A = this chain, B = another copy of it.
Amino acid sequence: MSVTPEQIRATADSYIAALTAGDLEGVMSLYADNATVEDPVGGGTIHEGAAAIREFYSTVVAMKIDGEVLDARVCGNDLLFNFEITTHFDAENSATINVWDLMTHNDEGKVTSMRAYWTPENMS
């Protein structure tokens, strides 16, 4: 089985749709069982395997999030895409972050590696 560029590109929209819907299963369905997630890159923590990835995202999807995909390019099995999400901590407090994510896919179209590039400079 081989994955197409269109399928890889679709991960970007599916990912942001799942995050903004608070859909943990939707997020998890994008990942291979043995995937790794580093968010942010250089942050010192790499979430490895489905259980660790689920734990990471469970705190993310618990918050109200708006977001949209701004740019994406597919090269080989890699998807490099830019998105902006706004997290609403409560009625008055929110934070917007601009992220470039690099997601490497396997031949079944599942993400085996996610690396998120953002710094405090990309927050507003």
**Chain A contacts to B: CB under 8 angstroms:** 40-43, 73-78, 80, 100, 102, 115, 117-119, 121-122
If A73-B100, A78-B115, A78-B117 are given as contacts, then 18 extra A-B residue pairs at C-beta distance below 8 Å, sorted by A number, are A41-B75, A41-B76, A41-B78, A42-B75, A42-B76, A42-B77, A42-B78, A43-B76, A73-B117, A73-B118, A73-B119, A73-B122, A74-B119, A75-B117, A75-B118, A75-B119, A80-B100, A80-B102
Give Cα A100–Cα B81 distance, bound, in whole angstroms: 10
- In the assembly, how many copies of this chain are there? 2
Closest 8 CB pairs of A and B: A42-B76, A41-B75, A42-B75, A80-B117, A75-B117, A41-B76, A41-B78, A40-B75
Q: How distant is A104 from chain B, measured CB to nearest CB, in Å?
A: 10
Give Cα A75–Cα B42 distance, bound, in whole angstroms: 5
Query: Can you give 27 A-B contacts (C-beta < 8 A)?
Result: A40-B75, A41-B75, A41-B76, A41-B78, A42-B75, A42-B76, A42-B77, A42-B78, A43-B75, A43-B76, A73-B100, A73-B117, A73-B118, A73-B119, A73-B121, A73-B122, A74-B119, A75-B117, A75-B118, A75-B119, A78-B115, A78-B117, A80-B100, A80-B102, A80-B117, A100-B100, A102-B102
